[in-house]
Structure 1
Amino acid sequence: MATPHVLALPFPAQGHVIPLMQLSHRLVENGIEVTFVNTELNHALVLDAMPADGSGRSLDGIHLVAVPDGLAEGDDRKDLGKLVDGMSRHMPGYLEELVGRTEASGGTKISWLVADEAMGWAFEVAKKLGIRAAAFWPGSAAFLDITLRIPQMIQVTASSTRKETSQFAPGMPPLHTSKLPWNHAGAPEGQPAIFQLVTQNNEAKDLAEVILCNSFRDAEPGAFKLYPGILPIGPLFADHQLQKPVGQFLPEDTGVRGIRQFHRVQPAAVRGACAGAGARWPALPVGGAARLRHWPEQSVARRVQGPCRRQGHDRELVPPAAGTYVPRHTCSVVRTAYRHRAVLPSIGQVLAHRAVACFVSHCGWNSTLEGVRNAVPFLCWPYFTDQFQNESYICNVWRTGLAVAPGPDGVVTKEQLSGKVERVLGDDGIRERVIALKDAACRSIAEGGSSHDNFKKFVELVKLKE
C-alpha cells in the first residue's frame, strides 16, 4: 500500500504556518508523507531561517514547496484585504498546477489536503481534483464558533442600540461587540474583503471531511459542545526538545546560546514580554520603549516583525523585527530589523525556563497555548482579531491572568504595567489555576487523552484506503 501523501496549506502568516508545521511533524512521525505549501515570500523566509546544515528543502519527511500569492512584487502583503483578494483570485490555479506537477514528476500521489480553514477556496480545488480534505483551524474553537455565527452576530449588533457583551454558551469567553474580530483586522478599507473571505470560508469548509483544531477540550468545553464536529488535537508542538524547525520566518536559536543568560537569574525573576509575530502595540506611544525600560523588575522583550516606525498616528509604534533578552532590571526593545537576522531562542524555550514568572503577551493563540503548556500566568495586551477573545479566556474564563487597560489618552503607563505584574505574581489563585490548566493540557495529549485520541482517529482516516 502506498504511503499516504498530505498537502499542507497554511494561511500565509507566521501564526498560521507554525501550528500547521507542528501538525505536519506529527503526521510524519506516524508514517505520512507531507508536502508543505507556503507562498513564495514566506517560503524564502522559512528556508533562510533554517539551520545551514545541508538539509535542503526537506525536514524529516516534510517537503517544502512554494506557489505565488497573486500579488505583485511591490504590493503590501500586510494589507490583509489586498492579500486575501489576491490569493482568492489567483492561488486556486497555482495550487492545481502544483498538484499536477507533483504527480507528473513520479512522486507519491497526493491523497489528502490539510488546509487552513481561512483558505476555503483550497477545498474547492481538492474537490475538483478528487483529493480528500481536512480543514485545520490554528486558533481557538471559540474564535471559529464566532466566525461560523456571523449571521447571528450581525443580528445582535444591528438590533442593539448600545454596545454590549455577548456570550454564546457557559464556559465560552464573553466578548464585547466593539471587539468583534472583523472590526480589528487591519485597515478599514480592507475589512469588507476579509469579511467576504470569512463568509466564503464558512461555506467551503463543508467540503472538508473533518475540522481539526489546535486546542484541547478542557480549555474550551462550551465551544466544543456547541460544535461537536470540531476535533481538538492540541496543544500542538513539534517535539519536546523544541529542536525541530516549525516554519519560523526568523532564525531561532534552538540550542543553549540564546537562553544561557537566564541561567544566572533567580527562579521566577523574569517578567516576559511578547508582542508576537507581525504584531504591533497600538497603545504604546512613540518613545514608549523608554517607559518600559523603567520597569523595576528584570524583564524580557520578545522579538517581533517589522522595523520600528510610526503607523497611522503618533501613539502607535511597530516594534522591531527582533528583540533581545536583558536580565538586568530593564526591558529593551532593540532595533534589529530583518537585515540583521538576529538569532534568538523560541518563545517556547523562554517560557519553559524556571526564571520566567509572568508572560506579557499580545494573546495570539500560539503564544497563549505556550503559556498554558508551561504554566506561566499572563498579563494581556491584545490588539488584533482573535486576541481580544483569547484575552477574555485568560481573564474571565480560566482566570490565569490580568489585562492592561489604556488610559483616556490610549497609553498604558509603566505604573499600570508594573502594578498589574505584581498583582498577577501575588495572586495564589492565579498560580493554582495556571498549574491546573497545564495539567489538563498535558492529560489531553497523553496516551488516552482526548486530543491524543482525536489525532489517532485522523491518522487512521488518512491511512484508510478508499
Structure 2
Amino acid sequence: MGLIYILQHIYYAGNLIENNLIWLSKEIPAWNSTEVAWSCPGDSKTQNCFFELLFNMSHYVKLCNWLLCNSFYELDSIACDLIPGIIPVGPLLLGNQLGGHAGSFWTEDSTCLSWLDKQSVGSVIYVAFGSISIHSKQQFEELALGLELIGQPFLWVVRSDIIDEPLVEFLDGFKTRINDRGMIVQWAPQEKVLAHPSTVCFLSHCGWNSTLESISMGVPFLCWPYFADQFNNKNYICDVWKVGLGLNPDENGLITRHEINTKIKTLLCDDGIKTNALKLKEMAKKSVTKGGSSFKNFESFIEQIKH
C-alpha cells in the first residue's frame, strides 16, 4: 500500500538518494530506498519495467471504486487509514477450498504431510522462499549447511529453478548426511504445513501470502526477504508485530551457516515471539468470523455492489 505514496514522491522529487529512508508515517516502519519494489535483482531494464508497472498501478488504484486488500484492519490500522477507501477483507486462505493448489503453478508434494505426522510436536523448521526467489550456489550450500548444523527436523522446499547451477552432487551428499531428519520437496501444501502441530517456525522470503498464512497459523518467522514488498514485510514482522527475527548477511552479502544456526536457535528459545505469534493468530481468526472487521467489510462491499 505504501508503494503508491513512494511512487508519487519519486515522481515529484526525482530519484531517491541511496540508503535514504522514506517515512509515510512516524508510526510505521520506514522504507529504505535500496529496498523498494523495483530495486529487484536483475538488470536495469527489468527494474525499469517493474517501476513502470507499479507506477501505472498507482494510477489505476485512484480510478477504483473499491480497493479490496488481503489483510485485516487490526494488523496494520495506521497503513490502512493512509489510503481512503481501502477495504481489508483478509486473511484470504484458499488452499483447502481449491484442493491445495491456490496461487501456484507448481505441483505440491503432499507426502511431506505424512512425514510431518511422524515428527514431534513443535520440532520442524519449515523452509520455503516462494516461486520467484533464487540463490547463488554458494548461498544455497550455506543454507543447507546451516540446517545441518541445527540438528533438528526440517522440511525444505527446493524448486528445480532455485539456482542456475547443478545441485545433484551436493544434494546427494547432503541427503545422505541428514538421513531422515530432513525432507526436501519441490513444492509443499504450505497452509497445511504451517497448520501442522509439528511445525515450529517458518524460514521465509516474507512474501505477503506467506506472511499472512504464517500469521494465521501462529507460526513465528525467520526472515530472509528477496525483493519487492518483502523487506517491508520483514520490518513489520520483526519490529512492529515482533513475531520473528531477521537474518543478517556478512560483509560479502552472504547469510552464513552460523548466522542461520544462531538465529534459529535464538528464535526457538524466545517465548515472547511465540506469544505474540499466537496473539496475531487469534486476531486473524476473529477478523474473518461473524462480527469481525474483515467479515463486516466484506458484507458491506457485497451490499454496495448490489445497489
Distance 1:260 1:413 in 2: 31
Question: Which residue number corresponds to residue 271 of structure 2?
Answer: 428
Q: How far 1:310 moved relative to its partner?
A: 4.2
**TM-score, reference length from structure 2:** 0.86
- Counterpart residue number, 1:199: 55
Give the aligned partner of residue 242 of structure 2.
399
Aligned residues: 297
**Which residue number corresponds to residue 225 of structure 1?**
81
**Aligned-partner SS, 1:183:** coil
For residues 193 and 429 of structure 1, the distance between their equivalents in structure 2, rounded to whole angstroms, comes to: 42
The letter for the 2-side match of 1:431 is K
1:264 corresponding residue in structure 2:
118
Identify the structure with bigger relative contact order (alpha carbons < 8 Å, sequence gap 6+): 2
Q: For the residues of structure 1 that align with 2:144 and 2:131, how far apart are their CA atoms? A: 22
Decide which of 155, 180, 192 is 1:328's aligned counterpart.
180
CA distance in 2, matches of 1:222, 1:459: 25
Separation (CA, whole Å) in 2 of partners of 1:210 and 1:185: 32
The equivalent residue for 1:35 is none
Residues 1:189 and 1:247: Cα distance change in structure 2 (over 3 Å): closer
C-alpha distance in 2, partners of 1:283/1:407? 16
- State the structure with more CA Rg: 1
Match of 1:358, SS state, is: strand
Equivalent in the alignment of 1:453: 296
Q: Is the 8 A contact 2:89 2:295 kept in 1?
A: yes
Contact 1:298 1:327 in 2 (8 A): no
* 1:361 counterpart (204, 207, 220): 204
- Tell me: CA distance 1:303–1:456, structure 2 relative to 1, closer, same or farther (3 Å): farther
CA distance in structure 2 between the aligned counterparts of 1:429 and 1:176, rounded to whole angstroms: 27
* Counterpart for residue 35 of structure 2: 179
Higher fraction of strand:
1
Distance across 2 between alignment mates of 1:220 and 1:280: 29
Aligned to 1:86: none
Q: Counterpart of 2:226? A: 383
What pairs with 1:300-311 in structure 2 (closer than 5 Å)?
300-304=155-159, 306=161, 308-310=163-165
Query: Is the CA contact 2:137–2:163 (under 8 Å) kept in the aligned structure 1?
Result: no
Deviations 1:49-93 (A, max 9, x none): xxxxxxxxxxxxxxxxxxxxxxxxxxxxxxxxxxxxxxxxxxxxx
Question: C-alpha offsets along residues 363-422 of structure 1, whole Å, 9 cap, x if unaligned?
Answer: 000110111001011000111111111111101111111111111122211111111011
Alignment of 1:304-319 (within 5 A): 304=159, 306=161, 308-310=163-165
Instruction: Indicate the larger mover: 178-187 or 148-157.
Output: 148-157
Which of 119, 122, 130 in structure 2 is aligned with 1:276? 130
5+ residue gaps, structure 1, are 1-143, 312-319, 337-343
Report how far residue 267 of structure 1 moved. Answer: 0.9
Q: 1:124-181 CA deviation, whole Å, 9 max, x = no partner? A: xxxxxxxxxxxxxxxxxxxx22234313246678575x62333312442222222111
Paired residue secondary structure (2:148): coil
Mapping 1:69-148, distance limit 5 Å: 144-148=1-5
* Deviation of 1:200 (Å): 1.9
Contact 1:292–1:331 (8 Å) recurs in 2: no
Distance 1:274 1:307 in 2: 11
RMSD: 2.9
| CA distance 1:431–1:247, change in 2 (3 Å) | closer
In structure 2, the residue matched to 1:414 is 257
- Structure 1 residue 328: Cα displacement: 3.5
- Deviation per CA, 1:229-274: give whole Å up to 9, x if none: 11101000126677364243022256xx430111121111111111
User: Structure 2 regions of 5+ residues with no counterpart?
Assistant: none
Identical columns (%): 30
